[in-house]
Amino acid sequence: MSAQSTSCMFETQPRPVDLFFVNWGKTALPRPVSEAIADGLPLWDTYEALFFLITGIFLGIVLGFLFPSAWRSFRRSFRRVDKYRSDLKLMSSGFAPASKNDLLTLNNDETEESTAGDGDLVSVFVAARYAVQESALREAAQLYLQILSSERVTRVQTNKAMFELAQVFSLSGLHERAIETGMELLFRKPAHADVFKLLLNLLLRQPSYGRLSEILSAYSGPKSGELARETAHILSRSALELLSRGQQENAISLAKQAIRWSPSALEPKLTLVEVTSVLSNRSGGQPLEQSTLGFFVDLSELFRLWRSHSGKAAFTSLPLMSSWIAFFDRHDEQVVGVFGRLKEELLSQIGWDSQEPDPAERRELRDLLRVLLEGSSTGRSRSGWEPALMKLLSLADEPSNALTVFSCSSCSELHRKFRWKCPVCQSWDTVAPWNGYSEVSQNGRPASPD
């Protein structure tokens, strides 16, 4: 097309020249940039809106660095603090000096920002913590919300206030709001172990598989040491709670995650045995023979853990064994008959069908069965299936004293029942059967009532 015809075409266009839009009837359509250039309009006019937008963003960033207090005020204007105020009316009000509550404090790895109003906010923190200690939870929550809505609050103070506010909500019984506040803080500080531990302990009261999975995926901090052991403990307890609600698949998933957190700990492995047991399958309808075979499968796994771990005290009070004892007591005579009919199949589950076990292995299985039966059957009379089981395994049916007293190897505190964590010295996996006064001679205290 020639230059003359092109200029003529532009001169005879009936539509008016518009920078950005073409009038097409009653509808305004975006105008292509190529047409604007063809009409002789400068490229500057075409992109002037984009130019001013980029210039405004650049000036905002520069002013934010030059005037940080003004930038913080701008950010605080978008904080949704009012969403917490609707829950204040559900909290208890007034001071009750007889009850004391202690708050966990957030350990910070950041340098505290210095602002002109830090001193005022520190005094508000002190007043809020005093209100929590005196059980004035509504007043404490109002003070924390005052901190969060302040224009002079720093990032570190914001994290501290949210961390302690979540605990205030938990003390008030608002667990869902406490978890939401903790989750918001975890997204702000995904690598902070204190926030992670707080959320796990909050969810321990009302375990939720979805929430736990969200927390585990959001956390990016260290996963070793005492934190890993405590996480495995919380996941194991949550798995058992979900199992009691009939959520076996979710319970199995949590038990496997607990093992990944602490591979050397015995607790998550025992939990996995329990949640995968045929007795934990609530679909129902298993024949008695299949259930009895499932018991020997569980016994084989427990025997393997008994031989591979030094801690034997955990086997004294297994909920799984209590369930098996109750099940066999209800079908006492039938179980004895199954022992006779399926002897070879039952022995094959523990690997005793093809070869005679050595005396040491036989003694270890006898010790395990004594601990399992006597530790989980307190206060009940002996049923006929128990001597039949010992006869099936060719084990000596000799009574022994049940393990009823335990001692912590770290602080020598005595306990009436087994615990994974000593409540006195807070040590993990240190509670073992007590064998005499020589082990606790350094303090000589009687066993705790727990």
pLDDT digit string (tens) for 32-79?
555 655 555 555 555 666 777 788 888 877 776 666 656 555 555 555
Q: Show the low-confidence residues of the chain (pLDDT under 70).
A: 1-49, 64-119, 282-285, 353-356, 375-380, 396-404, 435-450
Please write the tens of the pLDDT for every residue from 305-358. Answer: 988 887 777 887 788 888 888 888 888 889 889 888 888 888 888 877 656 677
CB 285 within 8 A of CB 275: no
Strand order of the β-sheet with 414-415 is 414-415, 406-408, 431-433
Beta bridge partners of 433: 406
pLDDT, residue 19, reads 43
pLDDT at 284: 60
pLDDT of the residue at 217: 92
Looking at residue 447, its pLDDT comes to 47
Residue 24, beta-bridge partner list: 27
Rounded distance between C-alpha atoms, residue 112 and residue 119, angstroms: 12
Where does residue 164 fall: left (phi above 0), alpha (psi -120 to 50 degrees), or beta otherwise? alpha
Q: How many CB atoms lie within 10 A of CB 174?
A: 21
> What are the residue boundaries of the structural domains of the chain, listed by start?
3-74, 286-399, 404-450
Please give the pLDDT value at position 189: 87
The values of phi and psi at residue 375, to 5°, are -80, -20
Q: In a 10 Å sphere around its CB, with 0-12 CB exposed, 13-18 middle and 19+ buried, how is residue 285 labelled?
A: exposed
